[in-house]
Amino acid sequence: MNRTELVAAISERAGLPKKDADAVLSAFAEIAGEIVFKGDEKLLIPGFLTLERTHRAARKARNPQTGDPIEIPAGYSVKATAGSKLKEAVK
């Protein structure tokens, strides 16, 4: 499902115009990005999803083309964890 299809589905189920559904989806994405960027709290939607920023330590790896060792610097990543209702829907 792409963004256009998601907006249409939200619009239909919530009884909103597509423009409003798109605005809600954009606001959610913006808020989620801000929370993950700060890194001091999680975005938790009970039973559905948890998003949080995690720290990855620096590590050594190998260039797959040349085999030369390379250093990968420390950085941040996003961890998404499915909630119980989402896990149940997959079964």
Model confidence over 22-35: pLDDT tens digits?
999 999 999 999 99
Same domain, 30 and 44: no
Let me know: does 71 contact 86? Beta carbons within 8 Å.
no
Q: What is the spatial distance between Cα 48 and Cα 58, in angstroms, rounded to a whole number?
A: 31
Same domain, 61 and 22: no
Let me know: does 74 contact 55? Beta carbons within 8 Å.
yes
Q: How many domains does the chain have?
A: 2
Check residue 45 and report its DSSP letter: E
Output the pLDDT for position 91: 87
pLDDT mean values, one per 10 residues, the chain (91 residues): 96 95 96 92 93 95 95 95 93 87
Same domain, 43 and 84: yes
Same domain, 12 and 46: no
Output the pLDDT for position 33: 93
In terms of residue numbers, what domain contains 12?
A: 1-37
Output the pLDDT for position 55: 94
Tokens of residue 22, six digits: 């798109």
Output the pLDDT for position 68: 95
Same domain, 10 and 21: yes
- The pTM of this model reads 0.75
Closest C-alpha among 50, 24, 53, 19 to residue 36? 53
Half-sphere exposure of 79 (CA within 13 A, CB side): 12
